[in-house]
Structure 1
């Protein structure tokens, strides 16, 4: 049984995503929506998209390039703004712990765990999954949003 679907996508690859893959994503979305499965989108390699993020990871939420691509990804995947998480990979930066890089990843993982826990609690309490059809707070619909 699926409790939460996590899409992990290279933010730099969104513009080259082929039509066939987008069609598969749309079919998957319909199944997820029909099954009341929460979805999370993690956008990786944001530092490769934007030099200001590469120079200072704390710019990840301030970068216009990252925000624009995150919005584009939201439309492709039909995922709420609050469920979309841009992150930076450690990669060539080495393995030294960097809190500025860890926080966005940990927030995304916490959301995934919270969604899964909510699902399990709902199953235990009512024997059926929660309905996730209400918009999230601060997630105003956009004119090109994929219907959910």
Structure 2
């Protein structure tokens, strides 16, 4: 069976949840799982003013493709993997990343979606600088996103 094309994007434009969902949706799906990451108002107790995302675009898109391949190794029956990431200055509440995975079964869609965001945060050459309301700023290194909910 042929694999439907995946959808990867880096953009300075606002991300659209419905666009990512539609890109992951096919007639084969029994589930689409969509993860939306957004700029929160506090990090480690500090008030956030805004974030600035930068990327090595060509390499990041290649990493997105590798992430999709890894997802398909974990869950071979996936229909589509969608990874959209925003760059530039983002204010509190704005969406920074969308991951959407379409699959005939929900368990595989959840598994692949979780793997995709965890792998993206660890491996994609995308950097974030947090600007605090007190005027200070901090570069953030890649996070180990393998944490589980308490």
TM over 0.5: no
TM-score by length of 1: 0.27
The structure where strand makes up a greater share of residues is: 2
Higher RCO, 1 vs 2 (CA within 8 Å, ≥6 residues apart): 2
The structure where helix makes up a greater share of residues is: 1
